[in-house]
Amino acid sequence: MAIIIVLLCIALLVVLITYFKINPFLAFLIISILAGLLLGIPVGRITGAVQKGIGDMLGSLVIVIVSGAMLGKLVAESGAAQRISSGLMYLFGEKYIHWALMITGFIIGIPLFYNVGFVLVIPLIFSVVYRYHFPVVYIGLPMLAALSVTHGFLPPHPSPTALVAQFNADMGKTLLYGIVVAIPTVIIAGPLFAKTLKRIDSKLPDTFKPNVNETGKLPGMANSVISSLLPVVLLAATTIISPRIQGDGLAKQIVIFLSDPVIVLLISLAYATYSIGLRYGFTMKKIMDIYGDAVKDVAMILLIMSGAGALKQILIESGVSNEIALLLGGMDVHPLVLGWTMACVIRVCVGSATVAGLTAAGLMAPMLPNLNVDANLMVLSIGAGSLMFSHVNDTGFWLFKEYLNLSVKDTLRSWSVMETIVGIVGLLGVLILNSLIN
């Protein structure tokens, strides 16, 4: 009976968000309280469980996500992202320009949140279309595929960062595994798939002609890359170095300290504040204003995550996770496939990749210790499922359609199929990696 209640509550969550258009944070709170009542949790403990779930979720995420948003915003505002793009286009030349855009999307997509990244790269895509007269979908899809994959697979993006916290995974390992899975996924869903879409074209209005910074005012290429990717470099380096240091001496403690995602992001933010901010004439007040705007960009994301944390805590307090674990124990379904499937279903129904990932994680996290599966790979599996088949209930679908001036049919043919490829290839990559490391 408890399992049926959980399924009905998840279905009601979908209805509240999609049909009644209730804010996901409020929808999570409503469903958390309702689930607590229906699952028999004493009334006096329900609000305490909700508060604990919110606190536990935000306590481990606020600094990472907010500082990551600040870094991404500065990368955009300083022109570092534009410098990376123009440099790669120069290196690759006209013939392989879509590969250059894919790599650019991957590099700048690591620190940038998806919506910020989308708005940032659109002028770059249009500049190439106007200059070389290529079909806009053929040129733009590889770059946007890279943005989507980094959004779903790689910390410090909200969903994978939250999943790392929920599953007690290692952020450094998740990042390394995520890059391994993301690279072939982006290649297949980006440049290779885009070759089949050359016949899709649209006339871009003159209002979309890009207005970019003058090259002489941009940070240097090396400086831009280092400032953007420093969190990745530090996390990867400390993850590789830490197992090779024996004992618990000072060197080991320093590496452990520097491997903490909070410290990594703060160091990276401090470096970028000077390297692409103060050094290029930005006042400290201007940089702080940029950081303030970045916080506004992610405030609702943090609230949605906290709501998902409340629902997860209700499921833990009720003990229903144990029933689900027993039920799944008799099913011949790989846990990674199960997590992916849950995220897929919620994504298709709700539209939000973040909500899909967090909801699936809330169901899987309590039973993960009994499933004998790598927590880092579960993060990636759910991340892949949360990107599956974006369609008309997803804001990303409409961003792609309206900016590229496409019909709904052509958007489904290009964007929706691309996201489906990302979801499927991502799962296959996770399963292959699981077979190699286990």
Residue-wise pLDDT tens for the chain (438 aa)?
787 888 898 889 888 987 898 988 999 999 999 999 999 999 999 999 999 999 988 886 788 888 888 988 898 888 888 788 778 778 888 788 889 889 988 988 887 777 667 866 776 787 778 777 889 999 999 999 999 999 899 987 888 988 998 899 998 999 999 999 999 999 999 999 999 999 887 776 554 454 455 445 789 999 998 998 898 888 888 878 888 888 888 888 999 898 888 898 899 999 999 999 999 999 999 999 999 998 887 888 888 878 888 988 898 888 776 666 556 555 678 899 999 998 898 888 777 788 888 888 888 888 888 788 999 999 999 999 999 998 877 878 887 887 788 888 999 999 999 999 999 999 999 999 999 987
Q: How far apart are CA 37 and CA 27, in angstroms?
A: 16
**C-beta neighbour count of 93 within 10 angstroms:** 10
Whether the CA torsion 28, 31, 35, 37 is positive or negative: it is: positive
SS3 95: coil
Please state, in angstroms and rounded to a whole number, the distance separating the CA atoms of residues 258 and 230: 13
Look up residue 97 and give its two tokens. Answer: 């320009």
Please state, in angstroms and rounded to a whole number, the distance separating the CA atoms of residues 194 and 326: 44
Q: How far, CA to CA in Å, does 135 sit from each of 140, 199, 203, 418?
A: 9, 8, 9, 16
DSSP-derived letter for residue 331 is S
Q: If residue 227 lies in a helix (H) or strand (E), which one and from where to where?
A: helix 221-241
- Residue by residue, DSSP assigns 16-45 as HHHTS---HHHHHHHHHHHHHHHTT--HHH
Q: Over the range 293-316, which residues count as b (16 or more CB within 10 Å of their CB) and which as e?
A: ebeebbeebbbbbbbbbbbbbbbb
> Which position has the token pair 């491997």?
259
| CA–CA gap between residue 210 and residue 190 (Å, rounded) | 23
Is the model's pTM score more than 0.95?
no
Domain that holds residue 389: 2-437
Rounded distance between C-alpha atoms, residue 382 and residue 329, angstroms = 19
pLDDT at 208: 47
Amino acid letter, residue 290? I
Q: Which CA distances in Å does 366 have to 61, 181, 362? A: 19, 25, 7
Q: Fill in the DSSP letter of residue 416.
A: I
| Amino acid letter, residue 374 | D
- How many structural domains does the chain have? 1
Cβ contact 82:302 at 8 Å: no
How far is residue 397's CA from residue 418's CA, in Å, rounded to a whole number?
Answer: 11
Q: What distances in angstroms separate CA 296 from CA 293, 299, 300, 406, one per listed residue?
A: 5, 5, 8, 30
